[in-house]
Amino acid sequence: MYKLIVIGGGVQGSTIATWLLRFNRIKEEDLLVIDPYDDPMHNWMTTTRKIGMTYLRSPSVHHLDPDPYSLKKYAKEKDYTQGFRGYYNRPQLQMFNNHCKDIFQTVGLQNCWKQGWVRALRFHDERWHVKLSSNEWYQAENVVVAIGVNHQPFIPEWAESLREALPQSITHVFQENEESADMDSGAAVVVGGLSAAHMAATLAQKATEPVTLIKRHPFRIEDFDSDPGWMGPKYLDRYHKESSYQKRRQWIQQARHRGSVTKSMYTTLRSLEQQSKLTIVTDEVEGAHHDDGNIFLKMKNTEQIIANHLFLATGAKAGLPGESWLSATIKEHHLPCAPCGFPIVDQQLKWSKGLYVSGALAELEVGPVSRNIAGARKAAERICKAFPVLEVSR
């Protein structure tokens, strides 16, 4: 039996495991991280590479190591001459990823790894039992559910039939093992958030004919995906005093800058547009059909768009992460949930005896930043407080 099982080895789970190991809250042999992939943060590294991201949106102090200045020290140590960009010192993606890999090697995270899909979570005999799709069972005194939302990509209704008919011609950025194709012409990217913008820019820079970026609203230019005030007491003091979880959910929805892009990305897109490498369309897709390998998009207010490949950056399905198996756990153990269906947890993100959450599952406590890197750091800090420092044997 393990002392702790972390379900999910993405940014959230890897950060929490790293902090617990770094701060001597747990030993390697007492920790198990269960994730569908072979390596920590596989989804993050695959998706960011796929869309062509070069620099993160977050500032230099948002990374996985407990020391906020660790990434800056790493850049100096490894002699990254272009490690950061802009006023907020946004880190270079490759440097950030290498920093993560070195941290994981230092703390021995891979030694705690188990590849598999979780299918059930139950509590009996004073311990948690985790079932995998392989029918293996693992037991632990404590569990952290740190799963993300990207395993269930949202596919617009108009695109469903196209995907069935032309599976090789329609790609969602969250889909597993689907790298962005080298498009010569006729590509279209749907929805104007930051992922779509990155994908459009990446395709436009190597295509021989213009790429089309379709977005539903005018560009929303924001430095971050929510106001920095949500990182500290400026907004969180009032948030934590609010007892209504419906009100908290409303604030989370209002705080997130959904579909926004950074100023530097906006400048890049406009530059590509001026070079006639990118066509930017602000409109909604009403329907679609295909003929002879081509995709025809019916727009609400503008002319029909024809493409030979469609990249969807339409985000993930709304709803509770891991709902397919977590809903049974909620029902069986009467776990407290808000009207929106998300967990009600305490300050240490404890949902029940020995059960903790992070990421989207913790956002009613952590706030709007809960799903991103800053939220992972906040979750790790809180959960660490629930585990006492281990005595050092002499």
Terminal-to-terminal C-alpha distance of the chain: 25
pLDDT at 177: 55
Any residues with CB less than 8 A from the CB of 327 and at least 6 apart, and which? Answer: 320
Q: Write the CA distances from 124 to 24, 128, 139, 346, integer angstroms.
A: 28, 7, 10, 22
- Whether residue 351 sits in one domain with residue 272: no
- Whether residue 200 sits in one domain with residue 97: no
Range of the domain at 287: 157-222+257-312
**Residue 204 included in any domain:** yes
**Residue 392 included in any domain:** no
- Whether residue 78 sits in one domain with residue 32: yes
Q: Residue 215 belongs to a domain with what CATH number?
A: 3.50.50.60
- Whether residue 360 sits in one domain with residue 282: no
Asked if 363 contacts 333 with a C-beta cutoff of 8 angstroms, the reply is no
**Residue 122 included in any domain:** yes
pLDDT at 206: 87
The first and second tokens of residue 78, run together, are 């490894």
- Whether residue 308 sits in one domain with residue 166: yes
Number of structural domains found in the chain: 2
pLDDT at 394: 44
- Whether residue 138 sits in one domain with residue 167: no
Which of these three, 277, 292, 312, is where a domain ends?
Answer: 312
Q: Which residues of the chain have pLDDT under 70?
A: 176-186, 192, 392-394
The beta strand positions in the chain, using DSSP E, are: 2-7, 31-35, 84-85, 90-91, 113-115, 118-124, 127-132, 137-145, 170-172, 187-190, 211-215, 220-221, 260-261, 278-282, 285-291, 294-299, 305-307, 309-312, 350-352, 355-357
- Whether residue 176 sits in one domain with residue 70: no
